Copies of this chain bind each other. A is one copy, B any other.
Amino acid sequence: MEYNSKQIEILNISLKLFAEKGFDGTSIRDIAKAADINVAMISYYFGSKEKLLEAIVINRVSGFSMILENLQTEEISPVEKIKKFVALYITRLFQNKDFYQIVHFEIVNQKRACDFSAFSEIKKKNLLLLENIIAEGQKANVFKSISNPHLIPAIIIGTFSQVYNNKKFYYELLNLKNEKEFENYIANDFKEEITNVVLGMLIK
């Protein structure tokens, strides 16, 4: 699908509003006002409010880069691969936090007939990639055999959202002053700590 700049602006603004106030909590008029367009333009461009949500999903998922997927072929040690896996995962989470927020709600919700199969496919691919890295590490005798590789993405995503959604609490706790400092915390300390947790689960 090809979108003009106005359509892309609508997509981005409604992504932000849906993440902030929820799909049901955001009205067409909210979006129109924020995007400085007429309410009719949303139906005109996307058909309906639900189809706008679908457009957001397709638009975002198709934009997910293949960086993670290319990790497999890199010639680095399994430990380094895990480190990179976690780092890339967290970066992607941070960059798409609004989108993950919406997806999270919609998957729980089941109210809308929204198709997340493309999203699920990516998750399955990521899990497969992770399992391969772990198998590689076991062959090299540096990783132990674990029964729960699927818990690793759950820990990364879950802990990240938990921290992000309680931003206020962590601002106080970690003496963070603004969004930039929070981003730094995620990109440095948080990333390192989660990496250690994951490696702790794997290394012999």
Which residue of chain B has the shortest Cβ distance to A127 in the bound complex? B173
Is B151 a contact of A159 with CB atoms below 8 Å? yes
Considering only residues 21-50 of chain A, those with a C-beta below 8 Å from chain B are 21-25
Binds B, one of A80-88, A132-140, A161-169, A176-184: A161-169
- Interface residue total, chain A, C-beta cutoff 8 A: 42
* A20 contacts across to B, CB distance below 8 A: 108-110
Is B25 a contact of A120 with CB atoms below 8 Å? no
Is A162 a contact of B173 with CB atoms below 8 Å? no
Which residue of chain B has the shortest Cβ distance to A153 in the bound complex? B162
- 6 residue pairs of the A-B complex, CB under 8 angstroms, read A105-B105, A107-B166, A151-B190, A151-B197, A157-B158, A158-B161
Apart from A23-B25, A158-B160: 7 A-B pairs, beta carbons within 8 A = A20-B110, A24-B24, A123-B169, A150-B170, A155-B159, A158-B162, A200-B200
